[in-house]
Structure 1
Amino acid sequence: MAGETPLHLREPGPDPETQRQLIARILASKPFKRSQRQRELLEFLCRQAFEGETKDVHEQAIGVAVFGRRPDYDTSQDNIVRVHVSELRKKLEEYFKQEGADEPWLLEIPRGNYAPLMTPRIAPVAEAVLAAETEPPPVDVPRSGVQLAAIALLSVACAGLFLWNLQLRQQAKAPPSGLNPLWQQMFTANRETDIVVADSCLSFYTDMVKHPVGLQDYLSRKYLLEDLSKERDPERRKSLEMLMGRRYTSYADVQAVQYIAQLATIHGGSVNVHFARDYPTRRLQTSNLVLVGSKRANLWAELFDDQLNFQVEYEQATGGNVVVNRKPLAGERPVYSILTRDADVRDSLAVVAFVPNLQNTGEVLLLAGTGMSGTEAAIDAVVSRSGFERLLAALPASAPGRVPHFEALIRSHAVGGAAQTFEVLAARLIQPAAKSRN
């Protein structure tokens, strides 16, 4: 059915009967026995989210249905829903820490919306299960390697937090003044714009386990449950579990958020920032979308693979990223890669793609580099007026007016790790036929 989320994109969760039983146990628990209003609120939210009565749960609808407010009441003046949902989150946390400590599924209401989600509880693998299974061959990563990996991880994590806080405290480097036609299409009155930043922990994780993770398993966290159940080294298992319990992104992603937020102000729009692991699939239909990072750290990008000719791919053998040119034209190479020349001066590659969303109802901008300097160059190519004009000039001729859907492969020249200049190596228009999702 048109406009409906495909089955494989829906939020993963338990079967309906398991959902109903969990909700019933929560409603009968001590934290909820004393508050009829909290029970009514939770029942309403779960009914809307899990029984498919609506595609989203809005504050105004909650106020009318649960708290008896008039249909036209002003939510900016009456915060009853926000107050009660905040209290509801606390009660759910209390339940899962006490009476529901052994529940295999968690029910939570992510901050920023009112739609409950059920996610599997990630717990250490039971020692009894481990002991009953056949002892596997020794892990190929030595103990010292695990320790070094953990130290490196913590160092990067601390550096990421430091850079994030530093960036937020510095005065922003404002994009050039004037309206950018790309962002005039990204910021529209009838659609919100979401920025989804990369999950840097995921790329570390795939390095450690040496296998990729698919989007559906990523959303359900099935991959982690399976990998933890197979891992026999307690230190390594703890490192994997700790790693995927954190939420870190890169400095380039922080820059993207900063610059795009400024562009939103210039163009009269607004942005919502999401971590890749927490992005609600339902928003794919209702929002314009900016995906920062390659699909190795931002798996949402893989949804748009079939629309793209240029794709950033990770080579396990070399431990580096390349750009695959699926249908090379005359003078183009099938694979583009960069060899590091020295520590201070290096080049990087990036793909900038502007495509329709899965239902052809909104826009998606993908910014993916083979390294951080490449991602920075991709960001500069779309947030800088002069950079975007250079990008447009490299595109094949198209009808005047709106910015056409396109993809471009760019090469950045970096000094000291900062992207300074870029050139367009190849570009394609994405033809209307490629947009059909029927």
Structure 2
Amino acid sequence: MSESHSMLVAANEKQLAGDARWALALRVASSKGFAKAAHLRELLLYLVKRTLTAPGVEITEQEIGCQVLGRRQDYDTQSDNIVRVQIRHLRQKLEEYFATEGGTEPLVLTVPKGSRVPHFEIRSEPEVKTVHSDPAVVVETAPARSLRSRIPRFVQVALPGSVLVLAAFLIGRVSVRQDAANQALANPGSNSPLWSRLFTPAELTTIVIADSSFALLQDTLRSALTLDEYTKGGLRKLIEAEPDERLKTILRDMSTRQHTSLADATISSKLRVIGKQAGGRVTVRYSRHMGVRDFAAGNFIIIGSKRGVPWVELFEQDLNFRLKHIGPDWRFGFANLNPQAGESASYSTMVPPNTPTESYATVAFVPNTARTGDVLLLDGLMMEATEAAGEFCMGGGLNRLLAEKLHFTTSDKLPYFEVLLKIRVVSGAPHNVEVVAWRRPAIL
């Protein structure tokens, strides 16, 4: 192991403490299959650590050769294929581990062919007739409880309603009750032409769930970060610039947590059921684990706004309704770039006294970045609005819109579209979803 590799390990151990993916990598590295494979063990830990601490930043073959395998800085990767050979051996070792010693691991670690980036996926579980676990389990570890006692009150207030610990996904506890799954499949929206486009045996469909920790930290710091800043450590720089040392420590801890929203958990669980019934291959990935290149192949369903899923930025060029910072009170809304008759220039959440909250969401169907697959964007101004967007697609609302507004028939190819929804929120649940506007984007 090189000196710089050792420094990387030491510097990031604290950052990875409590991360279920890092804990899995350590278990794999200490397994019997890796006991006599020191190079593969070091390679595995380096790749995982590098991916978790610098998501979205490319891991080059040159870097691996120098940092892990002892090659000189100027070595020629064309004539020396040691990295490719070792990664191929690593894939084989990982397959062996999860087929034998790690056969009960709820999370599976792979390094896909053609990639050097580790991929974490929830293990597919066999169907059971009854699921006794609660459909939304909140897991709070001891470090999280300790942290809460030190977080300022304004941050504590934001936590319960906006985040669900992703560990619930990783241990396989977040699932839809069997009756809820059956209800989803019996719903007319389950047979939508949208699903026949998004869920196919030939293409992998990736459901991307929001990085709610990132959204919460932006709220705390009153800073809206771009996708470029998300992938290049912009949040870390903001945290380190915080003058209050006590708050800085808390923010550092918060930045290592992997939270998503209850809406994302609920919608993704139902979509997995629909996808499976449609014969598709479906995986769920956390926003922080994605990279730019991922969105060039396959189909995607992105749940959440760009505040929690900055990757939405990749598709904004095709959108008319875009999330913007509106007003001086850190309020966000959808900007209507080209208002038509009767439409407003922007739409934001309203909380009138003694009446239900009114919020908005968008549903957009656009191509992936390489125009080789399709992407569904479910974007709400608040958690309940995002949930409403998902239910609009899974219920009969989308089918009615396609037929009545977009004049779609089953003999047509499903067009790309964008819909703005108005939602009344009553007692923390979406109610009375109304279509406000729609567009047929001109996809080049």
TM bracket, shorter-chain basis: 0.5 to 0.7
Q: Is the 8 A contact 2:420 2:436 kept in 1?
A: yes
For the pair 1:192 / 2:204, whether they are aligned, the reply is: yes
1:35 maps to a residue whose letter is A
Q: Is the 8 A contact 2:200 2:281 kept in 1?
A: no
Larger Rg: 1
Aligned to 1:113: 111
* Superposition CA RMSD, Å: 4.2
For the pair 1:390 / 2:397, whether they are aligned, the reply is: no
TM-superposed deviation, 1:405: 0.1
For the pair 1:430 / 2:430, whether they are aligned, the reply is: no
* 1:299-328 deviation per Cα after TM superposition (whole angstroms, max 9, x unaligned): 011111111001232336233332211001
For residues 409 and 371 of structure 1, do their structure 2 counterparts lie closer, same or farther at Cα, with a shift above 3 Å needed? same
Find the residue that maps to 1:208 and give its secondary structure: helix
TM-superposed deviation, 1:278: 1.2
TM-superposed deviation, 1:360: 0.7
Aligned to 1:4: none
For residues 113 and 314 of structure 1, do their structure 2 counterparts lie closer, same or farther at Cα, with a shift above 3 Å needed? farther
For the pair 1:275 / 2:286, whether they are aligned, the reply is: yes
Q: Is the 8 A contact 1:349 1:374 kept in 2?
A: yes
Aligned residues: 348
TM-score normalised to the size of structure 1? 0.67
For residues 148 and 414 of structure 1, do their structure 2 counterparts lie closer, same or farther at Cα, with a shift above 3 Å needed? closer
- Residue segments in structure 2 that go unaligned for 5+ positions in a row: 9-29, 49-57, 63-76, 79-83, 103-107, 119-148
Find the residue that maps to 1:430 and give its secondary structure: coil
* 1:117-158 deviation per Cα after TM superposition (whole angstroms, max 9, x unaligned): 59xxxxxxxxxxxxxxxxxxxxxxxxx996213433554578
- In structure 2, what is the Cα distance between the partners aligned to 1:226 and 1:207? 16
Aligned to 1:337: 348
Aligned with residue 250 of structure 2, among 234, 239, 242: 239
Aligned to 1:182: 194
- In structure 1, what is the Cα distance between the partners aligned to 2:43 and 2:241? 40
TM-superposed deviation, 1:111: 3.0
Q: Is the 8 A contact 1:394 1:424 kept in 2?
A: no
- In structure 1, what is the Cα distance between the partners aligned to 2:309 and 2:163? 21
For residues 220 and 112 of structure 1, do their structure 2 counterparts lie closer, same or farther at Cα, with a shift above 3 Å needed? farther
For the pair 1:168 / 2:141, whether they are aligned, the reply is: no
Find the residue that maps to 2:152 and give its secondary structure: helix
- In structure 1, what is the Cα distance between the partners aligned to 2:274 and 2:35? 48
Question: Which range moved further: 255-264 or 224-233?
Answer: 224-233
- In structure 1, what is the Cα distance between the partners aligned to 2:219 and 2:42? 46
Q: Percent identity?
A: 28
2:95 maps to a residue whose letter is R
For residues 34 and 396 of structure 1, do their structure 2 counterparts lie closer, same or farther at Cα, with a shift above 3 Å needed? closer
For residues 153 and 412 of structure 1, do their structure 2 counterparts lie closer, same or farther at Cα, with a shift above 3 Å needed? closer
Aligned to 1:147: 152
2:363 maps to a residue whose letter is V
Aligned with residue 66 of structure 1, among 73, 84, 89: 89
Aligned to 1:321: 332
Aligned with residue 217 of structure 2, among 178, 200, 205: 205
For residues 195 and 65 of structure 1, do their structure 2 counterparts lie closer, same or farther at Cα, with a shift above 3 Å needed? closer
Q: Is the 8 A contact 2:164 2:259 kept in 1?
A: no
Q: Is the 8 A contact 2:209 2:284 kept in 1?
A: yes
Aligned with residue 308 of structure 1, among 312, 319, 343: 319
1:215 maps to a residue whose letter is L
Aligned to 1:126: none
- In structure 2, what is the Cα distance between the partners aligned to 1:238 and 1:84? 37
Matches within 5 A, 1:32-51: 35=37, 38=40, 50-51=60-61
TM-superposed deviation, 1:167: 5.6
- In structure 2, what is the Cα distance between the partners aligned to 1:303 and 1:296? 13
TM-superposed deviation, 1:345: 2.2
For residues 39 and 430 of structure 1, do their structure 2 counterparts lie closer, same or farther at Cα, with a shift above 3 Å needed? same
For residues 210 and 413 of structure 1, do their structure 2 counterparts lie closer, same or farther at Cα, with a shift above 3 Å needed? closer
TM-superposed deviation, 1:292: 0.7
